[in-house]
Structure formats: structure tokens, C-alpha cells
């Protein structure tokens, strides 16, 4: 098992606590380099240990492959639903793009994915229309965790980013939870990132 940092363990604990309290959708807002993919992979590992199904959704091919590599490192059998990849339909874990997820239709009716946990990555780069589709198309017993960083927007029109809107509009909505991880001390990818974030934080203030 990948060695988690204390704050990553705490984030998972808070997400789990929110779900236990009845929150079906939980938003994790985390700083750059804090290891959101690592957190997601560990949540997935725990879900499939209970013989439950999980779907990981992201908006770019490289993110799909990044998640796939992390799951492989953890020894977790999974399928990647994407052009050029052989399907693994029996795997408890499926990794796919937003386009693939929202296009799952039969006779013009959306097919609700069979998943106990759905993880949406990089929400800051997902449009409002797409996040609305994702949030409203889950099974009756599914839980959804949405990951994002408000400061890392790659979306063409930054005003179309859904993360801050969801954070503002849903934070007090029944059935919706939020976990925030924005302390520069939580940055693990590279020490210089912590310094950069601190400088920009002072500029913002």
C-alpha cells in the first residue's frame, strides 16, 4: 500500500465521515501537489476491498492514464474505457473520460453506471453544464467525490469553471459535504511549489 501523508489520511477520514453522515456528494478542494490522485487511489482501494464498484472520471487522456498508472502501482485490477484500450468489463474499477460517462445511452436513455463510488477529478476544468450532468446522473445508492483545485484552471474560459460555483452554491445544501485542504504545508510534489503558493497567497491578500 502507498504510504499516505498524515493530511491525506485525515482528508480520507473527513470524506468518509461526511458520507457516513448521509452526504452523497462530497467536494475535496486541495492545493496543488497535495496528492489528490493518491487520495483518490486510496479511496478506490478501500472501496474495492469491500467488493464494491468504483468509477474514476476525468476530462483529459493524460489524467486517465495517470490514474491508471497509480492504480497499477497499488496492484488494483481496473479497466480503462477509452479508444485504443481493450475493455476489462469485469473489473470493479473503471477509469473513463467525462465524454464517455455522459455518452452512456441506450435508446436515448442514460444508463446509470453501476458504481458504489464515483470520483470526479479536476473539477476546476469541468464546465458547469458537464458538472451538472455528472452530479445528476448517479445511481440511487452511489456516492460521489469531486476533486479540484481552484487555483489550477486549464479550462479555456476560466469563467466556465464549475468548481468555485459548486463550492459556493452547494456547501450548505443537504446531502452535500465539503473538505478543504489548502495549507501550503500540505504540498508534497516539490518543495518549491510550497514557496510559490505562499508568495501568491500573500499577493492575493
Mean pLDDT of 161-183: 84
Q: How many of the other CB atoms lie within 10 Å of CB of 109? A: 8
With 60 as the cut, is the pLDDT of residue 26 above it? yes
What is the percent of the chain where pLDDT is above 90? Answer: 31
Question: Looking at per-residue confidence, does 204 or 17 come out higher?
Answer: 17
Cell reading at 58 = 476525468
Residue 180: what pLDDT? Answer: 84
Question: Looking at per-residue confidence, does 186 or 7 come out higher?
Answer: 7
- Per-residue pLDDT band for 196 (boundaries 50, 70, 90) equals low
With 70 as the cut, is the pLDDT of residue 110 above it? no
Q: What's the predicted TM-score (pTM) here? A: 0.83
pLDDT in tens, 40-64: 989 999 999 999 999 999 888 888 9
Question: Looking at per-residue confidence, does 202 or 147 come out higher?
Answer: 147
pLDDT in tens, 69-107: 988 988 999 999 887 888 888 899 999 988 888 776 555
Handedness of CA 21, 17, 43, 128 (dihedral sign): positive
Q: What φ, ψ does residue 55 adopt, rounded to 5°?
A: -120, 130
pLDDT in tens, 153-164: 777 666 777 888
- Average pLDDT value for the chain: 82
- Taking alpha carbons only, the member of 37, 106, 92, 89 closest to residue 66 is 37
With 70 as the cut, is the pLDDT of residue 13 above it? yes
Measured distance between the N- and C-terminal CA atoms of the chain, rounded to whole angstroms: 39
Amino acid at each position: 500500500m502507498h504510504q499516505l501523508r498524515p493530511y491525506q489520511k485525515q482528508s480520507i477520514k473527513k470524506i468518509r465521515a461526511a458520507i457516513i453522515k448521509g452526504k452523497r456528494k462530497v467536494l475535496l478542494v486541495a492545493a496543488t501537489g497535495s496528492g489528490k490522485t493518491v487520495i483518490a487511489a486510496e479511496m478506490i482501494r478501500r472501496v474495492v476491498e469491500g467488493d464494491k464498484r468504483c468509477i474514476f472520471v476525468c476530462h483529459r487522456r493524460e489524467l486517465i492514464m495517470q490514474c491508471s498508472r497509480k492504480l497499477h502501482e497499488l496492484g488494483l485490477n481496473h479497466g480503462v474505457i477509452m479508444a485504443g484500450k481493450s475493455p476489462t468489463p469485469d473489473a470493479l474499477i473503471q477509469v473513463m473520460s467525462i465524454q464517455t460517462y455522459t455518452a452512456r445511452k441506450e435508446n436515448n436513455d442514460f444508463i446509470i453506471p453501476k458504481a458504489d463510488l464515483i470520483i470526479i477529478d479536476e473539477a476546476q476544468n469541468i464546465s458547469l453544464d458537464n458538472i451538472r450532468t455528472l452530479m445528476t446522473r448517479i445511481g440511487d445508492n452511489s456516492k460521489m467525490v469531486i476533486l479540484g483545485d481552484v487555483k489550477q484552471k486549464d479550462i479555456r474560459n476560466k469563467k466556465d469553471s464549475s468548481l468555485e460555483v459548486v463550492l459556493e452554491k452547494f456547501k450548505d445544501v443537504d446531502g452535500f459535504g465539503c473538505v478543504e485542504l489548502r495549507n501550503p504545508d500540505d504540498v508534497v510534489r516539490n518543495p518549491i511549489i510550497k514557496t510559490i503558493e505562499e508568495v501568491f497567497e500573500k499577493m492575493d491578500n
